[in-house]
Structure 1
Amino acid sequence: MTQSPVSQLELENTLSAFYRWEKEKAHQPFLRQPYGNDWKEYTWHNAGEQIRKMAAYLKRELPANSKVALLSYNCSHWVMADLAIMLAGHISVPIYPSAGSDTITTILEHSESKLAFIGKYPEWDKKSDTIPEDVQLIGCHQHHTEMKDWDEIIAGEEPYEDSPVPDMDELATIIYTSGTTGMPKGVMITHKILSNGAAAASAFIDLKDERCFSYLPLAHCAERELTEIISIHTGSTISFTESLEMFQENIRSVKPTIFFGVPRIWLKFQHGIEEQVGKAKLKILLKIPFLNSLIRKKILKGLGLEEAKICLSGAAGLPRGTSNFFRSIGIKICEAYGLTETMAFSHASIPDKWKAGSVGVTLPTAEAKIAESGEILLRSPCIMKGYYKEPLKTAEVLDDDGFFHTGDLGRIDDDGFLFITGRLKDIFKTSKGKYVTPAPIEATLEPELGVEHLCVIGDGLPSPVAVASIYNKQFSDKKGYHDEAVELLKMLNNKLESHEKLAKLILVDEEWNTENGLITPTLKIRRQQIEDRYKGRVEKHLKSDDLVIWD
């Protein structure tokens, strides 16, 4: 089945939108940065003055269309630097602050970045040697002798007075993929792609003058589009979080009207609520009519989501149990779907257009179809221009009809709702010749176990095996956890086809991080690297009679 697009939208350039709010909302807050219990607010005018001064510096210092990197955790200066790069006629290259040292160096060299903004980045001392010597550095929250200071630069500059509007087909940014199957690829995103995504999403979800809370990496296409770009187009306010320790307090202070989280965030919320109230006790309380309403209000207020008109989840599949849990407390989490190559644009749900397990219907101007192989194909004005310096890799994923081959497997039901069923490259074949799709198994088992990361492997093995990282996990009752894990595995195996049943669950007390290459900066597992690391140990443990093994 194919989902077809609606007619084209009337588009406004992102910079044009900024110029408009710079005048119409001059003295209203645009960016809010927390410092302890205080907030530093930048109005549209305040931010605009700093952006224009930095743009003047960038125009003078760099050749036209230079690549400028952004290496920072989310903060007000990230957004101001991004707009200054855009206003100066340059191309931004965001880098995940959690990226490994080799990845940072590779991206800077591959993109040929001339300058890098180093913002809120506590790890700078550990990763400062990742920056090539010919890259000029500007520190926003950093004060080091090897870099110029944002405040000192703008103190000596006059604001750039022109308000140029780039051609919609000009390159705006190069966003590097997280690199689940190898080195990251540079996805070329034009101004038209940014504008179309904002216009379509705003119309579909009805966004205007929102309170956004930014904490997921702005280097990720979803946070960049949904929080930064859409906020600029809709005149919304962006508030940031100070730290992991202050996250909950910050979000309660902001009371966002739109909240976007990845499944891992929703799982942490769920586990936190269940631990505080008690899993069994909460189920009982929610069944009592009078208490049900009070409990829901208290939980929503505790999360800071009592005024959220829509809560979204993306980047990976949301476990069904987690979705059901939040529905029980009054939050219908709306899943969305997109890729870096589509600037996070494709499908979404809203509370009035929602189905359990689905990532929603196509957004305006998008269309989707399922190939004979089961692969999801997408076409829209948000499809990338191509991979930077990689024409052959571009040709592999963009066909002659303009469809992007996602690599994801899925199905579209009669109502146009898309369901993701796996990923082509993740499917493996056991030594018995049977094909296994690991993603649905992982999505079921990982949240129930409460582990940091879990990967199902089995290429060439008699049966699939799950390997899970329990690094730094505290056990009040290790035997109790072991027995619970055994029962969970047995229940899961009873629901799986015979060739999918897990032979073992191996719990390893090792951290999976970007430095050892086992996860990406977006916290996705690198399946091949995990399989290479643990395959020998897995083959040894297959000889054991135990179902759950502590390695």
Structure 2
Amino acid sequence: MQNFKSPIEAFLYWESHEPNQVFLHQPISGKIITHTYAEAGQEARKLASALKSLGLNSGDHVALLSKNCSQWIIADLAIMMAGCVSIPIYPTLNANSIEQILVHSESKAVIIGKLDDFESQKNGIPNIPKISIGLYGGKEGQLWEDLQNTHQPLQDIPLPNSDDLHTIIYTSGTTGDPKGVMHTVNNFTVSGKALVNLIKMPPKSRQFSYLPLAHVAERAICNNGYVLGSTIYFSDSMATFAKDLEHCQPHFFFAVPRIWAKFKEKILTSIPQKKLNTLLMIPIVNSMVKNKLKQKLGLKSAIFIVSAAAPIADSLVEWFKKLDIIILQGYGMTEDCCVSHFNLPNDNKIGTVGKTLSEAQAKLSPEGEICVKNKCLMKGYYKNPELTASMFDEEGYLKTGDIGEFDHDGFLTITGRVKDQFKTDKGKYISPSLIELSISKNSDIEQICVVGTGIPQPIALVTLSESGKSKSKESLSKSLFQTVSNVNPNLAKHEKIEKIVVMKEEWTVANGLTTPSLKLKRNAIEKIHQPYYESWFNLKENVIFE
């Protein structure tokens, strides 16, 4: 592996050494648009010239508002080539949140790409230069395509210093307002090397990019692609997601737990569990079924399959393991640039997030909080030195806000969030995370939030999966009550779940109850529902439909 000192240096290497290799693979409306390394480089160089023509100077901030697509990557490269700092914005944010980030980050320009509903978002963009991509219906400001025709490619690309600011990533924020995490060029260089060492993907591998590139994990994975000279595939839409993933057959695949649950649901729709069990017991048929399912899921070539960002039920991991799909749990956060803990194919313990990576150090505080140190910790929160200082202990370890425990083999289990703990009116603290994980094994449940402030015992608020929605209230109540009856004997007296409340609506990014990376916004859920806890608790039913 080449010893690159920055993401842009890695790209420039492949641009000159493998100019004709396909770098970006973008399906759109039934067609495929590809960019070789040379073509992507030319387009990025012209866009970099355009950015400079706007009067932008080295170190200025340029925002990027788009779903994952080839132009996202090209825009990111152009921002680097122009010596600017990228401000990626989640494509699902509303106008108020977009405005908040653009103003706080002092962005001098914004590139507007592939979006589902820009009309509802455009009022959030202040009076700064805008570049829109006509391919995706963009009309604001200057057109990307016009700039490609009117600007010469930037020839001399100055390589950045390792301590230059590379990007400000605004956390998706499960609590409070988003915070701008500052990462240097060196941070992404160190993170990229760590991920290459961890995943051991072959050079010129295939990657499938669909989780938001505004999130540090997806950004780091694509950065990994720059280092390896990979081909990065994208999806056209949710409707074509399965077909696009199957076509790509990536060597590395990363999904959050809700996606693994959806995959399982999809499989069981075509092959009911009883029939699947029978097929898996027949020796030759067994292999054929597994191979066919892996092919259809797009995982036939995957050598490293990951679940992260939120806890995943052990039962779900075990279910996929029976199909020879080994899901490895990992752990990292925006502030540590994903270099923290991981399970490995030959060193994997289900239920944990793995051992501390060799590039990191970890310890538990006296209160059990996980603290991490590595060579790619954030520079700090943009324009918030007080909050930055509060995130580090006296030895320079990052305080993650997660509570955990190490076993005797060094595997880390996350047992909750410091801020998620709550007290019932009995005055005893409850950490909801592991309780939620136990109850979520019920496949009728899509999302779960265990709460209990101000009532004697905790209750579980749930949304339903497709299988849950298809059941009668009577059948569903029986299923949910049975799950609670199975879980409660393993809980302390003050932790036992008293009721399950089935929500009328799902918790989504659109209604502000999940982050763009699909984590629950517990504070927002509680704010809406806490006034009803006492009345729900006092109802005689064990399962309540909102």
Same fold (TM over 0.5): yes
Which amino acid counterpart does residue 545 of structure 2 have in structure 1?
A: W
> Is the partner of 2:538 in helix, strand or coil?
coil
The offset of 1:169, in angstroms, is: 0.5
> Is the partner of 1:192 in helix, strand or coil?
helix
User: Contact 1:204 / 1:364 at 8 angstroms: preserved in 2?
Assistant: no
- Does residue 382 (structure 1) correspond to residue 376 (structure 2)? The answer is yes
User: Contact 1:475 / 1:481 at 8 angstroms: preserved in 2?
Assistant: no
Cα separation, 1, equivalents of 2:252 and 2:44: 26
Cα separation, 1, equivalents of 2:61 and 2:529: 39
Which amino acid counterpart does residue 131 of structure 1 have in structure 2?
A: I
Cα separation, 2, equivalents of 1:42 and 1:381: 33
> Is the partner of 2:445 in helix, strand or coil?
coil
Q: 1:138 to 1:37 in 2, by over 3 A?
A: closer
Aligned to 2:531: 536
Question: Per-residue displacement from partner, 1:280-308 (whole Å, max 9, x unpaired)?
Answer: 32223323333322221121111111111
Cα separation, 2, equivalents of 1:437 and 1:139: 46
Which amino acid counterpart does residue 217 of structure 1 have in structure 2?
A: P
The offset of 1:449, in angstroms, is: 4.2
Which amino acid counterpart does residue 534 of structure 1 have in structure 2?
A: H
Cα separation, 1, equivalents of 2:545 and 2:96: 32
User: Contact 1:120 / 1:140 at 8 angstroms: preserved in 2?
Assistant: no
The offset of 1:509, in angstroms, is: 0.8
**Please, which of 33, 38, 46 is the counterpart of residue 40 of structure 1?**
33
Aligned to 1:349: 343
**TM-score calculated relative to the size of structure 1:** 0.95
Aligned to 1:17: 10
> Is the partner of 2:250 in helix, strand or coil?
coil
Structure 1 segment 150-229 matched on structure 2, within 5 A: 150-207=144-201, 208-226=203-221, 228-229=222-223
Aligned to 1:436: 430
Q: 1:446 to 1:210 in 2, by over 3 A?
A: same
> Is the partner of 1:246 in helix, strand or coil?
helix
Question: Per-residue displacement from partner, 1:430-477 (whole Å, max 9, x unpaired)?
Answer: 111221110111122234143342211112220001112349874243
- Say which is worse superposed, 507-516 or 92-101, in terms of deviation: 507-516
The offset of 1:12, in angstroms, is: 2.4
Aligned to 2:448: 454
- Say which is worse superposed, 159-168 or 277-286, in terms of deviation: 277-286
Structure 1 segment 15-94 matched on structure 2, within 5 A: 15-61=8-54, 62-94=56-88
User: Contact 1:225 / 1:343 at 8 angstroms: preserved in 2?
Assistant: yes
Higher relative contact order (CA 8 A, sep 6+): 1
Structure 1 segment 353-364 matched on structure 2, within 5 A: 353-364=347-358
User: Contact 2:24 / 2:233 at 8 angstroms: preserved in 1?
Assistant: yes
Aligned to 2:326: 332
- Say which is worse superposed, 479-488 or 86-95, in terms of deviation: 479-488
- Does residue 253 (structure 1) correspond to residue 247 (structure 2)? The answer is yes
Question: Per-residue displacement from partner, 1:219-267 (whole Å, max 9, x unpaired)?
Answer: 11001101x1000011111000011110111111111111111111111
User: Contact 1:201 / 1:363 at 8 angstroms: preserved in 2?
Assistant: no
Structure 1 segment 367-516 matched on structure 2, within 5 A: 367-470=361-464, 474-516=469-511
Cα separation, 2, equivalents of 1:128 and 1:403: 40
Which amino acid counterpart does residue 31 of structure 2 have in structure 1?
A: D
Cα separation, 2, equivalents of 1:263 and 1:460: 30
User: Contact 1:431 / 1:461 at 8 angstroms: preserved in 2?
Assistant: yes
The offset of 1:143, in angstroms, is: 4.1
Question: Per-residue displacement from partner, 1:347-367 (whole Å, max 9, x unpaired)?
Answer: 112211211111112223211
Cα separation, 1, equivalents of 2:47 and 2:419: 44
Cα separation, 2, equivalents of 1:410 and 1:315: 15
**Please, which of 91, 109, 124 is the counterpart of residue 97 of structure 1?**
91
Aligned to 1:107: 101
The offset of 1:184, in angstroms, is: 0.3
> Is the partner of 2:442 in helix, strand or coil?
helix
> Is the partner of 2:87 in helix, strand or coil?
strand
Q: 1:125 to 1:373 in 2, by over 3 A?
A: same
User: Contact 2:131 / 2:144 at 8 angstroms: preserved in 1?
Assistant: no
Q: 1:68 to 1:140 in 2, by over 3 A?
A: farther
The offset of 1:536, in angstroms, is: 2.0
Aligned to 1:527: 522
Cα separation, 2, equivalents of 1:151 and 1:241: 21
User: Contact 2:336 / 2:377 at 8 angstroms: preserved in 1?
Assistant: yes
Cα separation, 2, equivalents of 1:145 and 1:40: 21
- Say which is worse superposed, 254-263 or 443-452, in terms of deviation: 443-452
Runs of 4+ in structure 1 deviating by more than 6 angstroms, as ranges, are: none
User: Contact 1:118 / 1:142 at 8 angstroms: preserved in 2?
Assistant: no
Structure 1 segment 113-124 matched on structure 2, within 5 A: 113-124=107-118
Cα separation, 1, equivalents of 2:63 and 2:333: 21
Aligned to 1:4: none
Aligned to 1:518: 513
- Say which is worse superposed, 440-449 or 270-279, in terms of deviation: 440-449
Which amino acid counterpart does residue 488 of structure 2 have in structure 1?
A: N
Question: What residue ranges of structure 2 are gaps of 5+ in the alignment?
Answer: none
Aligned to 2:297: 303
- Say which is worse superposed, 30-39 or 89-98, in terms of deviation: 30-39
User: Contact 1:470 / 1:510 at 8 angstroms: preserved in 2?
Assistant: no
Cα separation, 1, equivalents of 2:465 and 2:57: 47
Aligned to 1:5: none
**Please, which of 211, 220, 234 is the counterpart of residue 228 of structure 2?**
234
Question: Per-residue displacement from partner, 1:382-409 (whole Å, max 9, x unpaired)?
Answer: 1000000000000010223221000101
> Is the partner of 2:121 in helix, strand or coil?
helix
Aligned to 2:311: 317
